[in-house]
A and B are shown apart, each in its own frame.
Chain A
Amino acid sequence: MMKPILGVSAVIGLGVLVVGVASAGPEKVDYPTAYQSRYVWMGDIDRVDNNTIRRLYMNPEAYAAAKGGQPLPDNTVLVLEQRSIQMAEGKPVLKEGRFVPGNDVVGISVQQKKRGFGTEYADNLRNGDWEYALFDINGVRRNASTKSCLQCHKPRLAEDYTFVAWRVLADLKK
């Protein structure tokens, strides 16, 4: 009777392991379907070092909660959409000194805050309850490391690990 018990234990153990791996890190973050139409546009950042635009969105529920001066709430979702720009003769086309967006989305990064996220990471990497995920233009998850996201946002504790959203929301309070 020992063998079946061991076998069941092994199956249960394997199941726990599989669930553990499947829910680790970026896999917890779902692709934010229809973000372009449903989310709040937080601005276009001209990135002059690589001639792209970073278009930023926030889910409307978080925006409504935070624009009154409240901290970013549980289940805040930020989308960073990297876009091409219009070029002419090898130079960016400018309109009133700003880049003009092209038609192509190059990549999509998602930053989501949810209670319980981030527990996998060491303190020197963890971004509170934030997690990051990368998607291609079809919404398919990219198997790329998000460690650089965590490292870059880590010093931004005072701004709730954001670079731009905190400022846009702070200005709304004025």
Chain B
Amino acid sequence: MKSRDWRFGLALAIAVGAGAAVGFGLDPARAAQAHKVGMMDSQFGPKTVKAKVGDTLSLVNDDYENHWVYVPTFGFQISRNNIKPGDDWSVPLTKAGTFLVNCGLHSKMTATVTVEP
């Protein structure tokens, strides 16, 4: 094999490898993710979440009672009353920052979400 052909082959292999990486979600431009936060025994789990802008927060009531989830942090404030057992609520994360998630019915039920740019 001539040296020129060898270099061409290497370049082709790199290109194919990069394409495969994109296909398997290994692209540096990361795909959006859904971060599940469950509700059980009047607690959120996990209690801390790290996400990126474009991801979603998936709040799932795995408990045996209703929860009323709200965010009191300025600039992120949102609320949904009466999330019944089995229900879920998907919240798009459109802005960087850190906010608190509370339950209006169980004041000690809290989680913290950090959204990076």
Contact = CB atoms under 8 A, between A and B. Distances in A.
Interface of A: 42-50, 54, 96-98, 152, 155-156, 158-159, 163-164, 166-168, 171
Contacts of A171: 73-74
Interface bin, chain B: 20 to 34
B79 A168 contact: no
B101 to A, nearest CB: 11
B73 A167 contact: yes
B48 interface: no
Secondary structure call for the B interface: loop
Nearest to B82: A49
Nearest to A55: B77
Given A97-B95, A167-B73, A171-B73, A46 B107 contact: no
A48 B78 contact: yes
Interface in B97-116: 100, 102, 104-107
Contacts of A168: 72-74
A47 B81 contact: yes
Contacts of A49: 79-82
26 contacts: A42-B74, A43-B75, A43-B77, A45-B79, A47-B78, A47-B80, A47-B81, A48-B78, A48-B79, A48-B80, A49-B80, A54-B79, A96-B94, A97-B93, A152-B104, A155-B107, A158-B107, A163-B104, A164-B70, A164-B72, A164-B77, A166-B72, A167-B100, A168-B72, A168-B73, A171-B73
